């Protein structure tokens, strides 16, 4: 658009240059047909006005373009930072996976069977959980928790945000979205999305943040229970809040 405007203005300027740029009063004095000259002068005046408008448009376009360039440069810097951060996170995850695999390989067959049985019992225990009579923190929290309950039994898939599978923060962000509230995507960002709470202040629907690096989040369901998507190989389920290192709650 900027190039088109500049081309149009350049064409007009070239035409004026070819006319010789003689002083208007002298052109009128030399003209054999003053009426015709005055008509042309009126047209030239209109063209000058158009030129001025064109120059103003070009200036505005340039300002807009410069602003967009600056914004694009800023976005590229942010993307570079994000890419670097994701690279670090990937290495951390790979290291943790390596440690977990070593631990898993060290288990005896009996220990593996016991662990698998415990996971299966946890995945099947959703129907028998006593959530008590705690009141939700707000109608928003109640709606989010209610939405999350409809996903009990859905499989955990890393990076999934629903509607058929979830990771931990995918479940909480999906639940609040169903309630009409947008919250950040990751557990670390969700940790800063509202008012922080101690364990005694938790009410149903509040977010619950776990682990020192804040990498896990769930929804407080009441009576010491958390509704969450635990990890690969599990499903969305209830679990005691004491089974994981509690950090703090967050009220949206």
In the predicted model, residues of the chain with pLDDT beneath 70 are 9, 11-51, 121-128
215 annotated active-site: no
Residue 239's φ and ψ, nearest 5 degrees, are -155, 150
Which tokens is 72 given? Answer: 């694009």
Q: Which of 145, 175, 226, 228 is catalytic?
A: 228
Which tokens is 136 given? Answer: 């939700």
Q: What's 126's domain CATH number? A: 3.90.1720.10
Tokens 């977010």 found at:
207
Could you report the per-residue pLDDT of 50-66, keeping only the tens digit for each? Answer: 667 777 888 888 888 88
Query: Given its phi and psi angles, is residue 233 left (phi above 0), alpha (psi -120 to 50 degrees) or beta?
Result: left
pLDDT of residue 212: 93
Residue 82's φ and ψ, nearest 5 degrees, are -65, -45
**b (16+ CB within 10 A) / e for 212-244:** eebbbbbbbbbebbbbbbbeeebbbbbbebeeb
pTM above 0.85, yes or no: no
pLDDT of residue 115: 78
- For residues 113 and 78, membership in a common domain is answered with no
The domain tally of the chain equals 2
Report how far residue 106's alpha carbon sits from residue 115's, in angstroms, rounded to the nearest whole number.
13
| Residue ranges making up the domain that contains 158 | 109-251
Which tokens is 251 given? Answer: 């009220």
pLDDT of residue 29: 47
- For residues 176 and 210, membership in a common domain is answered with yes
Residue 154 within any structural domain of the chain = yes
Could you report the per-residue pLDDT of 137-150, keeping only the tens digit for each? Answer: 999 999 999 999 99
Could you report the per-residue pLDDT of 218-245, keeping only the tens digit for each? Answer: 999 999 999 999 998 899 999 999 999 9
228 annotated active-site: yes
Which tokens is 217 given? Answer: 């989040």
Residue 103 within any structural domain of the chain = no
Give 168: exposed, middle or buried? Use CB within 10 Å, 0-12, 13-18, 19+.
Answer: buried
- For residues 123 and 193, membership in a common domain is answered with yes
- For residues 240 and 128, membership in a common domain is answered with yes
- For residues 160 and 234, membership in a common domain is answered with yes
CA distances from 228 to 167, 173, 205, 239 (A): 9, 12, 11, 8
168 annotated active-site: yes
- What does the angle CA 115 – CA 233 – CA 182 come to, to the nearest 5 degrees? 130
Q: Which of 143, 144, 190, 216 is catalytic?
A: 216
pLDDT of residue 146: 97
Residue 41 within any structural domain of the chain = yes
Residue 91 within any structural domain of the chain = no
Which tokens is 220 given? Answer: 């407080």
Contacts (Cβ under 8 Å, ≥6 apart) of 168: 156, 187, 216, 217, 218, 228, 229, 230
pLDDT of residue 4: 80
- For residues 246 and 128, membership in a common domain is answered with yes
């Amino acid at each position: 658009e900027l190039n088109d405007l500049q081309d149009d203005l350049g064409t007009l300027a070239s035409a004026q240059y070819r006319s010789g740029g003689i002083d208007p009063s002298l052109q009128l004095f030399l003209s054999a047909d003053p009426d015709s000259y005055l008509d042309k002068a009126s047209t030239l005046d209109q063209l000058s006005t158009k030129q001025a408008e064109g120059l103003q448009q070009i200036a505005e376009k340039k300002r807009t373009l410069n602003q967009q360039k600056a914004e694009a440069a800023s976005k590229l810097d942010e993307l570079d930072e994000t890419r670097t951060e994701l690279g670090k996170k990937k290495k951390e995850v790979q290291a943790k996976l390596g440690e977990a695999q070593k631990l898993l390989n060290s288990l005896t067959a009996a220990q593996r069977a016991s662990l698998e049985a415990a996971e299966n019992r946890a995945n099947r225990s959703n129907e028998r959980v006593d959530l008590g009579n705690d009141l939700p923190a707000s109608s928003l929290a109640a709606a989010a928790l209610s939405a999350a309950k409809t996903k009990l039994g859905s499989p955990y898939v890393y990076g999934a945000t629903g509607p058929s599978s979830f990771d931990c923060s995918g479940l909480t962000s999906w639940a609040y979205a169903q309630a009409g509230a947008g919250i950040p995507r990751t557990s670390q960002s969700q940790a800063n999305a509202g008012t922080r709470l101690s364990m005694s202040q938790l009410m149903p629907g509040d977010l619950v943040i776990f682990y020192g690096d804040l990498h896990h989040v769930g929804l407080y369901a009441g009576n010491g229970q958390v509704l969450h998507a635990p990890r690969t190989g599990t499903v969305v389920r209830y679990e005691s809040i004491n089974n994981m290192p509690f950090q703090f709650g967050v009220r949206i």
